[in-house]
């Protein structure tokens, strides 16, 4: 086992990362620096500080950073400019958070002179890939410690036994068999995996959902919301200017109230297996609908179609952990260039789990009523021109038929 002097651990304060903290100290006899990110998961983070202190971590080696604005501004918003959706459904809520956490870990490692970083992702999931691709992209010489791939604590019983012997606080839910689901939350979404969700035939229990009301129980009266866009990003809601994190927080509240953003899917993990997960992404669901609506009147047709062609590749790069890759950065340049005229406003109607576009306008609109009208356009569009256009576009098919091909 190679020598480790100082390691920066992505630390939540939960049972698993607390066991990892102690295991790092015992196994590597190294100094541990804990890093806890506030990306809007809605948990009180000070307990993580107190738990770290119990392990003898010095106050100056405990980092608890509020990254909510950076998360939405520099990660969520750029991704939504691409309209990124993985496998037609997943809005990438977990995937997009990992590059930021990895970035901050590497920054802290540089700041404190650490030679290693560590995370609590298991050897079966995507997160190990996302974290470590980020680490290596940002610091090629960093050493990565992935305890779940090294230790022998491969059952819940062994983990609890280790925790008990180490004097780690174990709450009742873990003693009684663990939390009902494996959950991950940030400002963009909350996810649920494990337990009875591992049976694709089993419907998720209503009590599982945390952020959204059941669409059946949502208000019987629809609610309208106006989104103001600048450069493809939302800068205001209902006439009020907001920061990126405030935008997503507000849309989560509105979407949750109306039962918007629930998702139950089976996805293809990068590591090769299929996995069933349930997600609540109320604000993100509204954002996606609004962005596509404002693009519909501001983007050139071929640019819009090119973006749609590239979107699955972009989404897969984010899902698989390649946020810091040259190809994702190149795609982002193209996407961001396309957004220079994506300005204006969109009005959406929220009603019982659905988001409807009802109005949109922009000073940069490409919608020309004088040309598009069914009424007399005063010669703005010569319908006779369509005949030659159609005939030329049919030429290759006419030739194929004439040549006897069926």
The contacts of residue 381 (CB under 8 Å, 6+ apart) are: 371
182 in active site:
yes
Strands 223-230 and 233-237 come out as antiparallel
DSSP secondary structure letter of residue 282: H
Please provide residue 283's backbone torsions phi and psi, each rounded to the nearest 5 degrees: -65, -40
Of how many residues is the chain composed?
406
Question: What's the CA gap between 352 and 95, in Å, rounded?
Answer: 27
Q: Answer yes or no: is 37 a known binding residue.
A: yes
The contacts of residue 12 (CB under 8 Å, 6+ apart) are: 36, 48, 120
User: Cα separations (Å) of 63 from 112, 291, 349?
Assistant: 11, 35, 42
Q: Which residues pair with 183 in a beta bridge?
A: 192
pLDDT band at 405 (very low <50, low <70, confident <90, very high): very high
Please provide residue 112's backbone torsions phi and psi, each rounded to the nearest 5 degrees: -100, 0
Asked if the model's pLDDT at residue 391 lies above 60, the reply is yes
pLDDT band at 195 (very low <50, low <70, confident <90, very high): confident
127 in active site:
yes
For 233, half-sphere exposure in the C-beta direction (CA atoms, 13 angstrom radius) is 20
Please provide residue 170's backbone torsions phi and psi, each rounded to the nearest 5 degrees: -120, 120
- Which CATH architecture group holds 184-299+341-361? Alpha-Beta Complex (3.90)
DSSP secondary structure letter of residue 90: B
Lowest mean pLDDT among 175-189, 277-291, 338-352: 175-189
Question: What's the CA gap between 11 and 288, in Å, rounded?
Answer: 31
Q: Answer yes or no: is 10 a known binding residue.
A: yes
Percentages helix, strand, coil for the chain (3-state, rounded to 5) are: 45, 20, 35
C-beta separation of 276 from 194 below 8 A: no
* Sign of the alpha-carbon dihedral angle for 152, 158, 162, 168: positive
pLDDT band at 406 (very low <50, low <70, confident <90, very high): confident
Confidence at residue 151, expressed as pLDDT on a 0 to 100 scale: 95
Among the options 16, 118, 338, 360, which is catalytic?
A: 16
Question: What's the CA gap between 268 and 232, in Å, rounded?
Answer: 29
C-beta separation of 349 from 223 below 8 A: yes
Q: Answer yes or no: is 17 a known binding residue.
A: yes
Q: Rg (Cα) of the chain, in Å, rounded?
A: 25
Q: Answer yes or no: is 245 a known binding residue.
A: no
Q: Which residues pair with 224 in a beta bridge?
A: 349
**Tally of CB atoms within 10 A around 131:** 24
Q: pLDDT tens for residues 343-364? A: 999 999 999 999 999 999 999 9
16 in active site:
yes
- 6-67+96-179 maps to which CATH number? 3.40.50.620
Q: Answer yes or no: is 136 a known binding residue.
A: no
* Sign of the alpha-carbon dihedral angle for 243, 189, 102, 323: negative
Confidence at residue 167, expressed as pLDDT on a 0 to 100 scale: 87
Q: Answer yes or no: is 14 a known binding residue.
A: yes
226 in active site:
no
Q: Answer yes or no: is 46 a known binding residue.
A: no
Among the options 49, 68, 81, 98, which is catalytic?
A: 98
Among the options 38, 182, 276, 292, which is catalytic?
A: 182
Question: What's the CA gap between 209 and 114, in Å, rounded?
Answer: 40
Q: Answer yes or no: is 12 a known binding residue.
A: yes
Asked if the model's pLDDT at residue 180 lies above 80, the reply is no
Asked if the model's pLDDT at residue 175 lies above 60, the reply is no
Among the options 49, 81, 118, 127, which is catalytic?
A: 127
User: Cα separations (Å) of 385 from 203, 371, 376, 394, 395?
Assistant: 56, 14, 16, 15, 16
Candidates 154, 147, 151; CA nearest to 128 is 147
Q: pLDDT tens for residues 290-345? A: 999 999 999 999 999 999 999 999 999 999 999 999 999 999 999 999 999 999 99
User: Cα separations (Å) of 289 from 195, 232, 293?
Assistant: 32, 12, 6
For 293, half-sphere exposure in the C-beta direction (CA atoms, 13 angstrom radius) is 24
DSSP secondary structure letter of residue 360: E
**Six-digit token string for 52:** 């770290």
C-beta separation of 193 from 182 below 8 A: yes
DSSP result, 107-136: HHHHHHT-SEEE----TTSSHHHHHHHHHH
Please report, for the chain, the start and end positions of each structural domain, with discontinuous segments joined by +. Answer: 6-67+96-179, 184-299+341-361, 369-402
Which of 41-45, 179-183, 363-367 reaches the highest mean pLDDT? Answer: 363-367
Q: Answer yes or no: is 18 a known binding residue.
A: yes
Q: Answer yes or no: is 182 a known binding residue.
A: yes
N-to-C CA span, the chain: 67
């Amino acid at each position: 086992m190679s020598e480790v002097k100082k390691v920066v651990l992505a630390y939540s304060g939960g049972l698993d990362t607390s066991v990892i903290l102690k295991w790092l100290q015992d196994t590597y006899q190294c100094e541990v620096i804990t890093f806890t990110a506030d990306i809007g998961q809605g948990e009180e983070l000070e307990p993580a500080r107190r738990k770290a202190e119990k392990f003898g971590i010095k106050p100056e080696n405990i980092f608890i950073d509020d990254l909510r604005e950076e998360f939405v501004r520099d990660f969520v918003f750029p991704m939504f400019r691409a309209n990124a959706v993985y496998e037609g459904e997943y809005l990438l809520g977990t995937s997009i958070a990992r590059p930021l956490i990895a970035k901050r870990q590497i920054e802290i490692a540089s700041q404190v002179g650490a030679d290693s970083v560590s995370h609590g992702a298991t050897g079966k999931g995507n997160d190990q890939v996302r974290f470590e691709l980020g680490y290596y992209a940002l610091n090629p010489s960093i050493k990565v410690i992935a305890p779940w791939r090294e230790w022998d604590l491969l059952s819940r019983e062994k983990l609890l036994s280790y925790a008990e012997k180490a004097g780690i606080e174990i709450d009742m839910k873990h003693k009684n068999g663990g939390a009902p689901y494996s959950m991950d939350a940030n400002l963009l979404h909350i996810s649920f995996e494990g337990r009875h969700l591992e049976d694709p035939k089993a419907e998720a229990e209503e009590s599982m959902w945390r952020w959204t009301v059941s669409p059946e129980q949502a208000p019987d009266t629809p609610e309208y919301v106006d989104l103001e866009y600048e450069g493809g990003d939302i800068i205001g809601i209902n006439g009020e200017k907001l920061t990126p994190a405030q935008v997503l927080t507000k849309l989560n509240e509105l979407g949750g109230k109306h039962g918007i953003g629930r998702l139950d899917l089976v996805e293809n993990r990068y590591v090769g297996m299929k996995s069933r997960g349930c997600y609540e992404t109320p604000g993100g669901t509204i954002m996606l609908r609004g962005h596509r609506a404002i693009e519909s009147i501001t983007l050139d047709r071929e640019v819009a179609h090119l973006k749609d062609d590239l979107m699955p590749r972009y989404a897969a790069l984010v899902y698989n952990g390649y946020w810091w890759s040259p190809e994702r950065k190149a795609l982002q340049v193209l996407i961001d260039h396309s957004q220079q005229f994506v300005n204006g406003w969109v009005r959406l109607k929220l009603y019982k789990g659905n988001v409807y576009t009802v109005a949109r306008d922009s000073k940069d609109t490409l919608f020309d009523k004088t040309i598009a009208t069914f009424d007399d356009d005063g010669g703005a569009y010569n319908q006779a021109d369509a005949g030659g256009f159609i005939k030329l576009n049919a030429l290759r098919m006419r030739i194929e038929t004439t040549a006897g091909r069926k």
